[in-house]
A and B are shown apart, each in its own frame.
Chain A
């Protein structure tokens, strides 16, 4: 039944299909290759009638809803069609818009279709024009990004470019959420080819992007920036960063960077000022890194807090590499090693720990990996695997050399000590809420890992309090609160040759307050302050200035009783006295019960120390003899009042 003649007909039919294919191929070649340019021109002409509206960017606020980045409306006036009576209209408009009426008349009478009258005017001007009720004159809203607080948190926030895309910081990293959908409208053409904006579209505002709430607290951010700016100026540093975290959940409360820029006029600043150095810049931290080594030693049970460590004559030699302390500490307890920041003692302990443990704990503390704060450009720092260590590395890494860190990593690391042993992921975006009020994303605290036990963390706290009270960090002390912290001064790495600058130092301080139930963890880095040599004199006092104010702002209850002899040292007394004298005698609910203080125990102090200690009490002191105190009147613990007379006797025995 199926004959060859059927097959011939089939072949004929399919041959025709092949021909069709070929014809279409040729047609497409002609359209796309031969006439491509002509059509591209045509397309350009046709597409020129598309009117683009920028989407309205969502706002960025701090944790309490204070606006940090907002979108403000600008109004752009236009004529959509030919205007009746252009002479009169141009006179009216010229007055309101401050434009030359003749020019306006020229433009209006020669316009073939859509015409901008004036772009980006205020709402007031816009309303005045609309009040004239001129036919075919209307306006479009055009959004513009504005940073009401100018420099505040600008390195964190970033900024947007001309096309409304975020270029740096949060604006960049979360662009897809905040940007909103751009809308394009077709300015349809009438029969004569003139563009007409369809009336229904004119008032259609472009859609709004999502709002972002940061974990930042505007006030803490402000005072950090203020104090950081002070420190950079005062100590003549190249740059500086301060990161304040809530150590319990990793919320970034402040991230201050100097140098900075004004995002409203970013074009006027060098690109290097845009950088969020707290996450992008890495440096050798020096002694503040010793918390890692100390934590490892305690957690691994290598050494007990009160065990004596021989720090010898203040130096040791490891593979022809000298490690020195600037001072001979001799045999001191391990706690003391941390407090006085002995390099020799720390390296000695590290050698017992071994390379692998030092590396393991550094990794556990979050070094050598990104914190994943969800901002672009974060550096993971440098932490080499033990296999790549040199013979000198065990004398370097444990004391914060041969490693590079970011300030954010340091903040996360000190939070581990503050919160009882957990590494929490720092995060800066609290939530993202769509224009309709629907939450899109809500970042939750996340524990990355358990680093050390609660007991180890408690011991470290005690060490770091000691480092502040009796060690290198004494300028970090603040009245009314027990604080913990560690300084670090490291020679700055010269990136040109991998060696060290002779006279440039990175000065760091990491700490937290109050000691029990810490509310903030702070990491500070000052790059090359030229006026001081040690972090103890730069980063530590900066910590005190910041922490003191944050404690007051957060209304954290005092954990050190002031007055009544419980005052711990002269600084507290100084503060007490200052408050006392300025607060007036009738302040009934004063911190200091009554008008009297207790006489401190001066036995064994030098004259200089006595002077320092008693000065704030506003006593009239009579000194007798020389040497150290052997006798005092009134006796320790007895009540004294300002202005009363006391006698202190010294002897050399």
Chain B
């Protein structure tokens, strides 16, 4: 059991390529804007590169730490994280950016706690679900505490507000409940509750849905949202098969002003065309494939759930981001993992990959 094999370096390489694409595209999309705002066109590039270095270091460290050490202290880690999440709301500690309190300030950098919470919640759920396999049929002892924890995290993140991350937290939790063999009767519950209600709303008063979305995500007004999505489609579509060339995007200049974050994929599409977008999707496809292999090969449920949850969190978020950018999904406020600008997201995702690789290293030895 203690024999270690080499971690999945192929997967790590793919992640590094994604991060590399991110660095290039962040410079391409933010250069002109950074020059205007900070008189330094490398402003975002420098910061993201520094975060990437920190992230790679953290990832390599996480790769060395036996993932089974996380199992026992998981509840305490989660508790600490929930405290942190609440502290964002304390004046003087949390930083408000664009009307949302999501950040802590550490040194010159800001840190987004919800990203950390996402990973910690996965660890906690993986540990709790694997421990409580027998209690899951019991609603009070098995299901309710887990649902409460998820609800608490979801609510705190939603209140920041960070609608996108909250949704991902919900989706990943649901995924873990599903794989962790929560009975279908409970799994179906949200669907049973939400479905008729939403059908009713959409049928009778279509504007209600929009209102609901605005309520859940007040940072966006529907006109603005629609505007951005249309500009995103124009960017993607006008890229055509091979794109207009690196740095040549016009859409990033005026029409997608925050192109280095949520809509970076649209600019990849404009500058590199279908070739570029297909490449990025293929890379995420490989991440799913190799991640699934790690989860399936694992010899214990905690490891399998942890690996599955991490892969899900990363790739599902990517799918949602691309879905939004291509107008398949109606929301906004989700970044593209490893590619979008954002230090805490990059750091946490790289740590998660490090944990995933540690699991892979144990797998090979076990088989």
Residues of A whose CB lies within 8 Å of any CB of B are 1-2, 5-7, 9-11, 13-14, 17-18, 20-21, 23-25, 27-29, 31-33, 35-40, 42-43, 46-47, 50, 181, 184, 186
Q: Which residue on B lies nearest to A8, using beta carbons?
A: B179
Closest beta carbon of chain B to A40's beta carbon, Å: 5
**Inter-chain contact A28/B274, CB cutoff 8 Å:** yes
**Inter-chain contact A24/B322, CB cutoff 8 Å:** yes
Task: Known contacts A10-B292, A17-B315, A42-B238; decide if A32 and B181 are in contact (CB<8 Å).
Answer: no
**Inter-chain contact A24/B133, CB cutoff 8 Å:** no
Check if B221 is an interface residue, CB within 8 A of chain A: no
Residues of A within 8 Å of B281, CB to CB, are 21, 24-25, 28
Closest beta carbon of chain B to A208's beta carbon, Å: 15
Chain B count of residues within 8 A CB distance of the other chain: 51
State in angstroms the CA–CA spacing of A37 and B179 once bound together. Answer: 44
Closest beta carbon of chain A to B327's beta carbon, Å: 9
Closest beta carbon of chain A to B151's beta carbon, Å: 22
**Inter-chain contact A27/B278, CB cutoff 8 Å:** no
Residues of B within 8 Å of A31, CB to CB, are 233, 236-237, 269, 326
Residues of B within 8 Å of A25, CB to CB, are 278, 281
Which of B20-28, B70-78, B115-123, B300-308 is the interface stretch? B300-308
The secondary structure that dominates the B interface is helix
Closest beta carbon of chain A to B162's beta carbon, Å: 22
Q: Which residue on A lies nearest to B275, using beta carbons?
A: A32
Check if B93 is an interface residue, CB within 8 A of chain A: no
**Inter-chain contact B237/A35, CB cutoff 8 Å:** yes
Check if B58 is an interface residue, CB within 8 A of chain A: no
Mask of B262-304 contacts with A, CB within 8 angstroms, 1/0? 0000000100011001100100110010011001101111001
Residues of B within 8 Å of A17, CB to CB, are 288, 312, 315-316, 319
**Inter-chain contact B273/A184, CB cutoff 8 Å:** no
9 A/B residue pairs, CB under 8 Å, sorted by A? A10-B295, A13-B308, A27-B326, A28-B278, A35-B237, A40-B238, A42-B237, A46-B231, A50-B253
**Inter-chain contact A32/B269, CB cutoff 8 Å:** yes
Check if B250 is an interface residue, CB within 8 A of chain A: yes
Check if B323 is an interface residue, CB within 8 A of chain A: yes
Among candidates A6, A24, A32, A50, residue contacting B237 with C-beta atoms closer than 8 Å: A32
**Inter-chain contact B301/A6, CB cutoff 8 Å:** yes
Residues of A within 8 Å of B247, CB to CB, are none
Among candidates A10, A13, A32, A186, residue contacting B240 with C-beta atoms closer than 8 Å: A32
State in angstroms the CA–CA spacing of A11 and B289 once bound together. Answer: 11
**Inter-chain contact B238/A36, CB cutoff 8 Å:** yes
State in angstroms the CA–CA spacing of A2 and B301 once bound together. Answer: 5
**Inter-chain contact B241/A32, CB cutoff 8 Å:** yes
Q: Which residue on B lies nearest to A29, using beta carbons?
A: B274
Residues of B within 8 Å of A184, CB to CB, are 253-254
Check if B12 is an interface residue, CB within 8 A of chain A: no
- Interface of chain B residues 225 through 257 with chain A (CB within 8 A): 231, 233-241, 250-251, 253-255
Check if B178 is an interface residue, CB within 8 A of chain A: yes
Task: Known contacts A39-B237, A40-B238, A42-B238; decide if A1 and B296 are in contact (CB<8 Å).
Answer: no
Closest beta carbon of chain B to A180's beta carbon, Å: 13
15 extra interface residue pairs, beta carbon distance < 8 Å, beyond A2-B300, A28-B281, A50-B250: A2-B299, A10-B295, A10-B296, A13-B178, A21-B281, A24-B323, A24-B326, A28-B277, A31-B233, A32-B236, A39-B233, A39-B234, A39-B238, A40-B237, A184-B254
Check if B42 is an interface residue, CB within 8 A of chain A: no
Residues of A within 8 Å of B316, CB to CB, are 17, 20
Among candidates A7, A23, A40, residue contacting B296 with C-beta atoms closer than 8 Å: A7
Question: What is the total of A-B residue contacts with beta carbons within 8 Å?
Answer: 127
State in angstroms the CA–CA spacing of A127 and B185 once bound together. Answer: 79
Among candidates A10, A32, A186, residue contacting B308 with C-beta atoms closer than 8 Å: A10
**Inter-chain contact B181/A36, CB cutoff 8 Å:** no
Check if B175 is an interface residue, CB within 8 A of chain A: yes
Check if B130 is an interface residue, CB within 8 A of chain A: yes
**Inter-chain contact A1/B236, CB cutoff 8 Å:** no
Check if B328 is an interface residue, CB within 8 A of chain A: yes
- Interface of chain B residues 30 through 49 with chain A (CB within 8 A): 35
State in angstroms the CA–CA spacing of A29 and B238 once bound together. Answer: 12
**Inter-chain contact A11/B296, CB cutoff 8 Å:** yes
Task: Known contacts A2-B300, A14-B292; decide if A40 and B181 are in contact (CB<8 Å).
Answer: no
Mask of B98-127 contacts with A, CB within 8 angstroms, 1/0? 000000000000000000000000000000
**Inter-chain contact A47/B233, CB cutoff 8 Å:** no
Closest beta carbon of chain B to A170's beta carbon, Å: 25
Among candidates A13, A20, A47, A181, residue contacting B179 with C-beta atoms closer than 8 Å: A13
Mask of B324-362 contacts with A, CB within 8 angstroms, 1/0? 001010000000000000000000000000000000000
Residues of A within 8 Å of B175, CB to CB, are 13
State in angstroms the CA–CA spacing of A33 and B301 once bound together. Answer: 43
**Inter-chain contact A1/B238, CB cutoff 8 Å:** no
Closest beta carbon of chain A to B307's beta carbon, Å: 9
Residues of B within 8 Å of A9, CB to CB, are 178-179, 181
**Inter-chain contact A46/B255, CB cutoff 8 Å:** yes
State in angstroms the CA–CA spacing of A13 and B179 once bound together. Answer: 8
**Inter-chain contact A33/B274, CB cutoff 8 Å:** yes
**Inter-chain contact B328/A27, CB cutoff 8 Å:** yes
Residues of A within 8 Å of B299, CB to CB, are 2
State in angstroms the CA–CA spacing of A640 and B233 once bound together. Answer: 100
State in angstroms the CA–CA spacing of A141 and B179 once bound together. Answer: 66
Residues of B within 8 Å of A36, CB to CB, are 237-241
Q: Which residue on A lies nearest to B298, using beta carbons?
A: A2
Please provide the 9 A-B residue pairs with the shortest distance between their CB atoms, ordered closest to farther. A39-B237, A43-B238, A36-B240, A32-B274, A2-B301, A186-B254, A14-B292, A20-B319, A40-B238
Closest beta carbon of chain A to B10's beta carbon, Å: 18
Residues of B within 8 Å of A37, CB to CB, are 240
State in angstroms the CA–CA spacing of A42 and B255 once bound together. Answer: 13
Closest beta carbon of chain A to B336's beta carbon, Å: 12
Residues of A within 8 Å of B322, CB to CB, are 24, 28
Task: Known contacts A28-B281, A36-B240, A36-B241; decide if A50 and B179 are in contact (CB<8 Å).
Answer: no
Scoring A25, A28, A37 by chain B CB atoms within 10 A of each residue's CB, the highest score goes to A28
